[in-house]
Amino acid sequence: MGRIKTIARRSFLIGSAAIVGGVAFGTYMYKRDVANPLEADLGEGAATFNPFVKIDADAVTLITPRADVGQGAYSIQAHLIAEELDVDLDTVRIEPGPPSPAYYNGVVAVEGMPIAATSETMLARTGRGAANVVGKLMGLQLTGGSTTVPDMYERLREAGAVARETLIAAAAAQTGLEAGTLRTESGAVVLPDGVRLAYTDLAATAAETPVVEEVSLRDPSTWRHLGKPHMRTDMVAKSTGTQDYGIDLRMDGMVHATTRTNPALGGGILGFDASEAEAMRGVQAVLPITGGIAVVADNTWRAFQAAQAVACDWGDTPYIGDTALQFDAVATSFVEDRQDSRFKDEGDVTEALAGADVMEAEYRIPYLAHAPLEPMSVVVKLSDGRLDIWTGTQIPRFVQAGAASVAGLEAEDVYVHVLMSGGSFGRRLEDDYVRQAVEIAMQLPDTPIQMVWQREEDMTHDFPRPLAIARARGLASDSGVQGYDLSIAAPSVAKSSLARLGQPAMGPDVAIVAGAWDQPFAIPNYRVTGYRVPAMVPVSSWRSVGASGNGFLHECFFDEMCHSAGLDPLEERLRLCTHDVSRKVLEAVGEMSNWGSDPGAGRGRGLAFVLSFGVPVAQVVEVMDTGDGIRIDKVFVAADVGRVLDPVNFEAQVTGGVVWGLGHAMNCELTYAGGVAQQDNYHAFEGMRLYQTPQIEVRGLENGTKIQGIGEPGVPPAAPALGNAIFAATGQRIREMPFSKSVDFV
């Protein structure tokens, strides 16, 4: 026990000065002032060295606190630890860990700051440092913003190295041998004579061994897994139906529930008649919850059927409920007192764009649903003042706090068990579904309750990606783009989603202009202005957040300017590019796509470039106008994350991002009537299907100086590259999503 206290108070030396490149390794002091949550229920003879590694006589357990929503977060976190700890991942346990401030995210807060990824000014560096402080002080345990790798790259390798060196020290103490003569391999300390002491057998000794404080990280040239193709840890389970999601948990005495709340968002419920539902087979209860009803039954389908049979008297939505009016609210927001930001203001745009030869265009993007394939699901059990929650979530500490407030418990009485999510795309940054389940549990204690939403409930109760309108003005001549004035009006994601987490959102919302204001181009007169539309239906982060739509708004009009002046869109971007890493990405995609060559009759190529989440990504889409519609044949992608840790998953995330970006651009929108989302299942919100999927060629470059994540940055350039390709093939300029309003797709 004494030792635990010492460790908790002790600072230890960790780290490497080199973020990428592995040249200059040093160590620095890192104040370890956050308690290790693994110490709480450490058994006899078990050891933990930091919040990420626990070893007992049975197993080595690696804690991978960033949520896995399909992006491979568990696997890459485990590989980061294993690379230093020397364990084989098929022999260890991989667990997400409990909610704890120790698992704070030290980089995600940067996304809320107006700091361009390409900026290295003192202000930018200070801001990045502040994000770490904010994350740590708040104990901000959050998965999002493509931050898992940049945030965990050093922390997890350090955790592995500290554990390894402490195990070596334990082996030295146990054998009387010099630590310097020992090495580690496959979960064991190996003695000079070849005898292997398994980590699990060393656990008890290690628990009594002072943690080795000074470690240095291995040079990337010696890595065995990282940087090389390796197998994700979840592939076998996900290919054999043995991966459990929240919808799959089965417990003794478990009942099945579903909820139905007012489809007119925020309208509440005035009353309901459950008499028919209550008489249906298997129905155990129809319960009131905030804004609607819950049905508890002995089978999910019976709960679904009964929920539909409850006659509900719904209230009216308090929001602007019709999409035409919602767009009107956006269109009337380009006024001074709604100006939210002007982070980019170069040259003299007013003067430069005063002439009659200025081009103007308006672009529109719709609301979009997340619609992960697993509908919202959660299992809850409330018993004797203890609340257990099993669910996929990107925000376990907010789930814990929110559930505690609903149930009137202390946060420490709420146990959140994080599960693999069947997709998210940002949806599991919300805790609305958990709160509903807790309301059910309060009316039905001592029973495990699995709550699953019907698909229709899921799609009509999303917090969508907001709609937006862009007004663009520009001027280009044969000597180049001279002026670009882009104004974007959208509701604030930050304000809407942070309010639901009980956090204030101060200052301008970077998301309104992300992916537009921060692009590395030296246009002489260049201005990007954000306008904040007053809040309408609640909105939230959607894969690549602001950049998801702003890439389209910024890049298609740039293409328009190039074509109007007879400029080659690639050459012009290269000419204007101020960021070497981005330039190489553009050059790479030009080479991959054979840009400039004749694409053939009826065919067209479109280029787009977006730097988001610190990652420059260029894409060329090649389409064919078949006469029966547009066919997307090929997509070329070049992206630079500084260092590619898992080339196989890198490619999967980029191609997935391209399919996501293209599919929604092709045929998806969420529209509202009377506050009710009109697209309530996949027949009306289809995205891309396999027969429409192009060949996608991906190249990962490693010129960037910082390591970055790739879950999101592949999305933003896809839609504009498609729009630009359709223009190249047909001469038709599309300024509104979904594109299916303007063209047919094969």
Partner 1 sequence: MKLTVNGKEHEVDVEDDMPLLWVLRDELGITGPKYGCGIAQCGACTVHVDGIAVRSCQLAAGDLEGEVTTIEGLGTPEAMHAVQAAWVEHQVAQCGYCQSGQIMQAASFLDLNAAPTDDQIDAAMSGNLCRCGSYPRIRAAVKTAARRLQGV
Residues that bind partner 1 (CB under 8 A): 69-72, 231-232, 234-245, 247-248, 250, 256, 281, 298-302, 304, 371-375, 420-425, 452, 454-455, 648-649, 652-653, 655-660, 663, 681-683, 686-691, 693, 695-696
Strand partners, 390: 379, 417
Given the complex with partner 1, which of 160 and 375 has the nearer CB atom? 375
By a kind-dependent CB cut-off of 5 to 8 A, residue 244 interacts, out of partner 1, ligand FES, none, with: partner 1
- State the minimum distance, in angstroms, from the CB of residue 448 to partner 1: 14
Instruction: Please give the residues from 367 up to 406 whose contact with ligand FES meets the rule CB under 6 A.
Output: 373
423 belongs to the binding site for ligand FES (CB under 6 A): yes
Given the complex with partner 1, which of 153 and 304 has the nearer CB atom? 304
Is residue 512 within 8 Å of 533, Cβ to Cβ?
no
- State the minimum distance, in angstroms, from the CB of residue 455 to ligand FES: 8
Q: Count residues near ligand FES (CB under 6 A).
A: 3
**Three-class SS string for 192-245?**
CCCCEEEHHHHHHHHHCCCCCCCCCCCCHHHCCCCCCCCCCCCHHHHHCCCCCE
By a kind-dependent CB cut-off of 5 to 8 A, residue 222 interacts, out of ligand FES, partner 1, none, with: none
- State the minimum distance, in angstroms, from the CB of residue 730 to partner 1: 24
525-537 burial string, b = 16+ CB within 10 Å, else e? Answer: bbbbbbbbbebbb
HSE at residue 237, side-chain half, CA atoms within 13 A, is 11
Given the complex with ligand FES, which of 425 and 595 has the nearer CB atom? 425
By a kind-dependent CB cut-off of 5 to 8 A, residue 657 interacts, out of partner 1, ligand FES, none, with: partner 1
**CA nearest to 74, candidates 89, 90, 96, 47:** 96
Exactly one of 37, 65, 70, 491 binds ligand FES (CB under 6 A); that residue is 70
d(CA 359, CA 654): 34
- State the minimum distance, in angstroms, from the CB of residue 667 to partner 1: 13
Region of 179 on the Ramachandran plot (φ > 0 left; ψ -120 to 50 alpha; else beta)? alpha
- State the minimum distance, in angstroms, from the CB of residue 671 to ligand FES: 23
**CA nearest to 253, candidates 298, 295, 285, 287:** 298
HSE at residue 675, side-chain half, CA atoms within 13 A, is 18
By a kind-dependent CB cut-off of 5 to 8 A, residue 391 interacts, out of partner 1, ligand FES, none, with: none
Given the complex with ligand FES, which of 237 and 373 has the nearer CB atom? 373
CB-based closest residue to ligand FES: 373
Q: Which residues contact 330 (CB under 8 A, 6 or more apart)?
A: 467, 468, 469, 489, 490, 491, 533
- State the minimum distance, in angstroms, from the CB of residue 437 to partner 1: 17
The DSSP code sequence of 314-378 is: E---SS--SHHHHHHHHHTT-SGGGEEEEEEEES-HHHHT-STT-EEEEEEE-BB----SSPPEE
- State the minimum distance, in angstroms, from the CB of residue 659 to ligand FES: 10
Given the complex with ligand FES, which of 70 and 448 has the nearer CB atom? 70
Given the complex with ligand FES, which of 40 and 373 has the nearer CB atom? 373
Given the complex with partner 1, which of 486 and 665 has the nearer CB atom? 665
d(CA 69, CA 149): 14
- State the minimum distance, in angstroms, from the CB of residue 680 to partner 1: 10
**Binding positions for ligand FES, rule: CB under 6 A:** 70, 373, 423
